Amino acid sequence: MEATIASPPPVSAPRPVSVMGAGEEITDIEELKQFHTPRPRDKGDHNYHEHNNLTDHYTFAKAVIDGCRVNSINIDAISFKVDKVQDVKLPLVVNGVRLMGHRITKVANRFFLIARINNPELQVADDVETFIVARNSHDKRVPMELAIGNRVIICSNLMFGGDIHVKSKNTRFGFTHFHTRMQELFTEYNESVGQVRADIQFFKDTTISEAIGHQFIGHNSGSGEYVQPGRTHRVHEMWMRPEHREYYQTNTSVQLYDKGTELWTLWRLLNAYTYVHRGDLAIDKETNEPYLEGHKKFETRTNQTALKLKKEYTSKLWGKLKSARNYADWYFTSDPKDIKISL
């Protein structure tokens, strides 16, 4: 009888890349104070929230950083960005008296924060970096959000994601609710990271043959459970030649092959799918190859899977691969070349 397995949050391929998207980089948190926080009494051209409790970006950023400190989460490589910055006219007020004329100030409608988590006990694997990301907005388009993940996306097209995340609307008590949910997120991640780490190690240690991987991908191509049906050929390609192929040419903890040979593991199979969810690297028409590091289009991608669907696919696949541990769907012999899968 097949065991019931609860799938953890998805974890993506090694060597994660964070995408901050368009916008203006802020190097010092104090620079955030230069941006005006809209209020109804501004009487400007923009219809902002009807209440006057929008959280300014400086206060929001400080809350996230302080929340990490209180929960003993060590972070570095902190980056800030603002986007959708615009000049707005505000009434000219001196000593509480409104005068003729106006003044010009800047409003940053979107704010993003990303930082790397350093705690060894909070890492899901030695070769996977973990990030905390957050965003705030002043234009009603997106809520306050905070996420922890090993593959994160932050950009101005409203894509925002991590393995687990919380959000709170910019309402009268939104910032209070955000504080509560932030603490819940830190608690959840602390409780789940050990199991995720164990799963990843199992995936890395479990070898299969190249043929078995192709068999698994092909057998499940029509189910639509793990990837969009029309993209199965890309999963086969990523199984054979992943974007970070050199990562798989050195063994991990199970010494079954000589150093330098290809590793065919459940971890590689999982990553074959998650690579495809990320979409296709933009191709340089002159070289017919992806753009090199340093180019403005480096790591630019097309045909990305929607974040919600990506998480659903990865969660289901994660549970399927975990079932190998219980011999529910997969059967192993001592020789990795003879591994068979009950499909």
Reduced to 3 states (helix: H, G, I; strand: E, B; else coil), residue 114 is strand
Tell me the torsion sign for CA atoms 128, 227, 212, 238: negative
Q: What angle (nearest 5°) sits at the alpha carbon of residue 282, between those of residues 228 and 81?
A: 95
Q: Which letter does DSSP use for residue 126 in this model?
A: T
CA nearest to 82, candidates 101, 49, 60 = 60
Sign of the torsion formed by the C-alpha atoms of 287, 290, 294 and 297: positive
Q: For the chain, how many helices (H) and strands (E)?
A: 6, 14
SS3 11: coil
What pLDDT, on a 0 to 100 scale, did the predictor assign at position 160?
56
Closest alpha carbon to 248 in 266, 233, 273:
266
Domain layout of the chain by residue ranges = 24-197, 206-341
The maximal CA–CA distance of the chain, rounded, in angstroms, is: 85
Residue with tokens 């090199």: 292
Minimal CA–CA distance to 317: which of 275, 256, 263? 275
Angle at 273 between CA 328 and CA 259, to 5 degrees: 85
Closest Cα partner for 137 from 171, 176, 95? 171
Tokens of 241: 């030649």
Q: For strands 144-149 and 97-117, give the pairing.
A: unpaired
In angstroms, the CA 208 to CA 340 distance is 8
**CB–CB of 267/200 below 8 Å?**
yes
Q: Is the pTM of this model over 0.75?
A: no
User: Comparing C-alpha atoms, which of 51, 70, 66, 57 is closest to residue 30?
Assistant: 57
Q: How far apart are CA 28 and CA 297, in angstroms?
A: 26
Contact 154, 20 (CB under 8 A): yes
Choose among 132, 157, 156: nearest CA to 145. 132
pLDDT at 205: 85
Q: Contact 193/124 with Cβ under 8 angstroms?
A: yes
- Mean pLDDT in consecutive groups of 10 residues from the start of the chain, 343 residues: 41 47 82 85 56 82 93 89 83 60 80 90 82 85 81 52 66 80 87 87 87 89 88 93 80 53 88 86 80 72 79 88 65 42 36
User: Up-side HSE of residue 180: CA atoms within 13 Å toward CB?
Assistant: 7
**Whole-number pLDDT of residue 332:** 39
Are 206 and 324 in contact, with CB atoms under 8 Å apart? yes
State residue 25 phi and psi, 5-degree precision.
-75, 135
Q: Using alpha carbons, list the distances in angstroms from residue 276 to 13, 129, 237, 310, 322.
A: 10, 20, 9, 10, 20
